[in-house]
Amino acid sequence: MSELDNLYREVIMDHYKSPRNKGLVEDAEYKLFRIKNPSCGDDITIQTKVENGIVTDCRQIGHGCSISMASASVLTEIMIGKTLEEAKNIADNYLNMVSNKEFDTELDLEEAAVFSGVRQFPARIKCASIAWVAFKDTIKGDSNE
């Protein structure tokens, strides 16, 4: 097994066992989006707070396979503190990376970079994507597009 494969497994198990930023909050300033992946029972809700163009909090809750849970946990850690522009850029590049499309290899995807391993398993692409797709929806209204 390659080093990246080992790292991939380590990161997934770590976040699966100790999910970060888990649980939603009652606060109307947060935007919420839920996505389900019927093919493997994943059900993830992402909740994001944006203040002055910066993601000041990002929460997640749900259930599903280890890849979907871990990718949601990694997402929240990475996004907190990012500007909307940075957040959207990272999310777009991450989603391209896991679905084996062209992405900016110079961009620092931080811990999410290990999910490049998902490309070898097309059936798991959706598992690794849904939290990030949901996140993009939570910041949609705040970006200038």
Q: Considering beta carbons, is residue 40 or 61 the nearer one to Zn ion? A: 40
Q: What separation in angstroms does the CA of 137 have from each of 34, 51, 120, 131, 140?
A: 9, 16, 27, 10, 5
Q: Which of 11, 20, 35, 42 binds Zn ion (CB under 5 A)?
A: 42
Q: Considering beta carbons, is residue 32 or 40 the nearer one to Zn ion? A: 40
User: Binding to Zn ion (CB under 5 A): which residues in 95-134?
Assistant: 127
User: Binding to Zn ion (CB under 5 A): which residues in 67-96?
Assistant: 68
| Coil, strand or helix at 62 | strand
Closest CA to 77 of 136, 30, 138, 15: 15
126 Ramachandran zone, left/alpha/beta (phi>0; psi -120 to 50) = alpha
Decide if residue 40 touches Zn ion (CB under 5 A). Answer: yes
Decide if residue 54 touches Zn ion (CB under 5 A). Answer: no
Q: Which residues bind Zn ion (CB under 5 A)?
A: 40, 42, 64-65, 68, 127
